[in-house]
Structure 1
């Protein structure tokens, strides 16, 4: 899938991501943590977190909602960008930082991040494609190796606000 195709997917979502983020932030995490993504090939009870990071060029803070899983006590997110040929901006930005913020429902934490390799990555990727089967189609539509990011939770921080 080319970036133009990914842009058309984003446009077709009609602001869903922005509305999801707005509800998550406005509710302090009581809304938006679990979504029904069965209409897009996912599951009815899909968990979503928020990540907070700093833009590598702008220096601004950004918050992005992402599907997440939990493997061995670490939060796992996937930098799929719907199968686009380029990495998502959030992924490029967190690569420039040692820590980011992560909010799960009504709790937020500072987290360090890493990318699993080899057999561990295979295991984690398999788990994440079970949580959200469209990831398989995203990977097959691009030559880009879709990154898997694992977050190790640290100390508590205030929940994110708009």
Structure 2
């Protein structure tokens, strides 16, 4: 049987949503996944993305806009730059958030938390001159 640990992109999102995260919340190497819902900056249509996350506090969660270390940021990040209002789903709980990029003061501690969860983020940063942002998703 295929589980969400074997899936990426849309198939992972679909499986997560079908099961309220029962299959898909826990992913590879102990990571946790949320689903980010943004509005396409060109299409205006809802877009959904399965992203590794860490809790920052009771009302904020962290994600990294890495796109595997490519020079271009992920589309979801560009969507949030255009409109920082979004929704996230963690397991069966879907709620509105406002996105912002971690400040220079916040980022070192937040980056350390995210690389503890997914060490490849350091490798991704070494592949590009683009500064990979940590995005803070604060409950709205």
Per the TM superposition, whether the score is higher than 0.5 is yes
Q: CA deviation at 1:29?
A: 2.5
CA distance in 2, matches of 1:55, 1:18: 15
Q: CA deviation at 1:71?
A: 1.4
Instruction: Find the counterpart in structure 2 of residue 29 from structure 1.
Output: 21
Matched, 1:72 2:53: no
Q: Structure 1-normalised TM-score? A: 0.78
Instruction: Find the counterpart in structure 2 of residue 127 from structure 1.
Output: 113
Which one of 30, 33, 46 corresponds to residue 61 of structure 1?
A: 46
Secondary structure at the aligned position of 1:68 is classed as strand
Matched, 1:105 2:91: yes
What are structure 1's unaligned runs of at least 5 residues?
Answer: 1-13, 38-42, 155-162
RMSD: 1.5
CA distance in 1, matches of 2:97, 2:48: 14
Q: Structure 2-normalised TM-score? A: 0.90
Instruction: Find the counterpart in structure 2 of residue 150 from structure 1.
Output: 136
What are structure 2's unaligned runs of at least 5 residues?
Answer: 1-5
CA distance in 2, matches of 1:152, 1:102: 10
Q: Any runs of at least 4 consecutive aligned residues in structure 1 with deviations exceeding 3 A, and if so which?
A: none
Size of the aligned set, in residue pairs, is 134
Q: CA deviation at 1:17?
A: 2.5
Instruction: Find the counterpart in structure 1 of residue 71 from structure 2.
Output: 85
User: 1:7-36: CA deviations, max 9, x gaps?
Assistant: xxxxxxx9632321121122132221111x
Instruction: Find the counterpart in structure 1 of residue 10 from structure 2.
Output: 18
Larger radius of gyration: 1
